[in-house]
Amino acid sequence: MRFIPLFSGSSGNSSLIEAGGVRLLVDAGLTGKAIADALKSISIDPDSISGILVTHDHVDHTKGIGVLSRKYNTPVYANAGTYAAMAPIVKEIDFANVRLFRTDEDFYIGELNVLPFKTPHDAAESVGFAFTEGSNKLCCMTDIGVFRESMFAAAAGSQLVFIEANHDVRMLKNGPYPYVLKQRILSESGHLSNENCGKALVRLHETGVRFAVLAHLSKENNTEEKAYRTVSTVLEEAGVTDMQLVVAKRDRITGIFEF
Contact positions vs Zn ion (CB under 5 A): 58, 60, 143
Closest approach, Cβ 105 to Zn ion, in A, equals 22
126 or 132: CB nearest Zn ion: 126
Q: In the bound complex, which residue of the shown chain has the CB atom lying closest to Zn ion?
A: 58
Angle value at C-alpha 185, between 256 and 174, nearest 5 degrees? 105
Strand runs labelled E in the chain: 2-7, 14-19, 22-26, 51-53, 76-78, 98-100, 107-109, 112-118, 127-133, 136-141, 160-164, 211-215, 244-247, 257-258
| Smaller CB separation from Zn ion, 18 or 143 | 143
Residue partners of 240: CB distance under 8 A and separation at least 6: 201, 202, 205
DSSP code of 221?
Answer: S
Q: Are 71 and 21 in contact (CB under 8 A)?
A: no
Measured from the CB of residue 13, what is the shortest distance to Zn ion in angstroms? 6
Decide whether 76 or 86 has the Cβ nearer to Zn ion: 86
Query: In angstroms, how far is CA 9 from the centroid of its own chain?
Result: 10
Shortest spacing between CB 60 and Zn ion, in angstroms: 4
Provide the minimum distance between the beta carbon of 35 and Zn ion in the complex, in angstroms, as a whole number.
Answer: 15
Helix ranges restricted to H, 104-223 = 149-155, 169-174, 179-186, 194-205
CB of 123 to Zn ion, least distance (A): 5
Least Cα distance to 146 among 175, 129, 166 occurs for: 166
Residue closer to Zn ion (CB basis): 22 or 78: 78
Residue number, 58 or 250, with CB nearest to Zn ion: 58
Longest dimension (CA), the chain: 52
Instruction: Report the residue number, 133 or 143, with the smaller CB distance to Zn ion.
Output: 143
The CB-of-47 to Zn ion minimum distance in angstroms stands at: 27
Entry field: residues in the chain: 259
Q: Nearer to Zn ion by C-beta: 20 or 128?
A: 128
What minimum distance in Å lies between the beta carbon of 58 and Zn ion? 4
Q: Is 202 helix (H, G, I), strand (E, B) or coil?
A: helix
